[in-house]
Structure 1
Amino acid sequence: MLTSITVENFRGIERLHVEGLGRVNLIIGRNDSGKTALMEALLLARDPDNAIGLLASRQRMRVSEGTNIADFDEFWLPIFHRMDAKGGFRIRSASTTARPSSLTVEQEPVDGLITGEDLIRESGSTATWALSATVSRGPHNTRTIIENTDKGVRFSPAQTDIGNFWITPSPSIGNQDIRFLSKLKQQGRDEAVTNLLRYVNDQVSGVELLAPTGNRVSVYVRLRREGLIPLHMMGEGMKRYFEFAVAFAATEGASIHIDEIENGLHHSVIEPLWSWISKATQEKGVQTFATTHSEECVQAASRVFKAQNDDGLRVIRLDKQEHETKAVVYDRDLVEAAERMGVEIRG
């Protein structure tokens, strides 16, 4: 579990240090304070050896449709603060399970860069740009590379297989969700998904994978009174709860990153969600990070974690200042005290 992180020159963050991360971390702050950027940095800190692949995945979600990964200025430059790819960015972190690590990602000169174990370049190919990711743990350094050549974009092989989930603000049921639900069903563990969906609709009796036309498998929700209904025809809250349920049920010891956790959810289901997250993160050993703009969401989390005597909650408030972003970390008791005094902590 990550306990601290320092971020320098990553996206909109020039410098940020956060100490005292918990099992469940709720990130708050004004627009453009760096909430999502911090959550992405935490994703990289959790699996620095796969930083290039994770960055590529996040950029594909972010950039305009049709933007080519080979287009360095459009695809890769926005990752770096003030577009300074040559200066690069750095992320340092500490955790309870591994040695402190440092990740540096920067643009490299292409001449003579990619040799030996870093990447095998096709004979006769010429690089037009290259990024390197260097991970330091004590005296040991490892490096991975991505480069663009006249024969296409080439990655170093993946270094690790550490599980993580990123859940976007708008529900999107994709192939990964279907694969994980299928695996849960094969293992007889899909009841966890059904149980969470009942917080939204108490008529839910099951979740099925069906292919009515014989071509594409889709998710259906079984309701006691109405029978089977395609998930994509149900409300945003049901689809969002489904994403949460699959992510938590399908993983052990991973990290889950939820952008704007309250999106699409009625206020009445926020506390049941936090209750479920408190229990699921303890049972699964999952560290969770989420962003929110909602003070109600923060206070709901505080009430639930207090009621369950769970001290694993941290609320991280970000305030963007000149040359630095300040982070204030509240534990469950401090959030409760702020609510009692009528003080709004979200910024």
Structure 2
Amino acid sequence: MDQNRIISGAAWEGEDQDVSVRPQRLAEYIGQEAVKERLSIFIEASQQRREALDHVLLYGPPGLGKTTLAHIIANELHVNIRFTSGPAIERAGDLASVLTNLEPGDVLFIDEIHRLSRSVEEVLYPAMEDFHLDVMLGKGPSARSVRLDLPRFTLVGATTRAGMLTAPLRDRFGVIVHLDFYEPADLAEIVKRTARVLDVPLAPEAAVEIARRSRGTPRIANRLLRRLRDYVDVRGNGEITYEMAQEGLALLEVDPHGLDVVDHRLLEALYHRYRGGPVGLETLAAAIGEESGTIEDVYEPYLLQQGYLQRTPRGRTLTPLALERLGWPPLAPVQKNLFE
């Protein structure tokens, strides 16, 4: 399961509760330079006009800092932040309860906003656009609609699946921010910062090695750092050297390219069973004992982004780059039977 993968970008239960390693201001946030510059301008402009910041949509793969950016936006605006998630808002009344407790200028952060139900979305539209709620009181013939005015607030929505947002909801965000995978140099700086906060002795070469295997994702980088801290406390002298980092990462089964056993199982099935493809998603899922949705949503994005896989109309195929990086010989073309 994805939850048990050390290189999963998804948060483990309780993992993000350590706020000490989370940057609090844009100046402390490492990487995503273009994103930071845009947000800085929009925030400063809203403060100069003494208005609430336009609603912000943050989208991108898990573990890239969407929740952290929501915190930072609230801190830069000097306002409070309220947290909820799409699955937690089951009914329109749940949303109304949250919205009516906001103070002027507050930030409301909705994680997994793509999972809001359509009925809740319809209540959210006037709240975002006109800052009011239309609430039905009573039932049957005696039911009546009451309009509740809301303070001007900033909604920050986060999603890993921007394509699942309805057009009316997406169009109500004035600021849309895409977070992409981080460069290894930025990840190395993030690892060094976390090591300083946690008081973990870390060699610069070890920080680079951790960054290289972190799949462009800060959450994975920080997770690997914590597990290596455990490793050197038990097997070493408490310092994460380059050699100890290599040993610990090998124990965690994370290879130099950031791939784990699940990635290798998928790639090996494509190579050995299906001669590099193309092979259909359902067939590939059955071959490695995973659900097709898990492959599509969890395992494939990084492999596609790094150029190991291609999606074609006929199915998934291995790329020459995958063969080169994994040290596999090129596959000979299949000889067709003369009588076919």
Fold shared per TM-score above 0.5: no
Normalized per residue, which structure has more strand? Answer: 1
TM-score, normalised on structure 1?
0.29
Bigger Rg, structure 1 or 2:
2
Q: Which has the higher contact order (CA 8 A, sep 6+)?
A: 1
Normalized per residue, which structure has more helix? Answer: 2
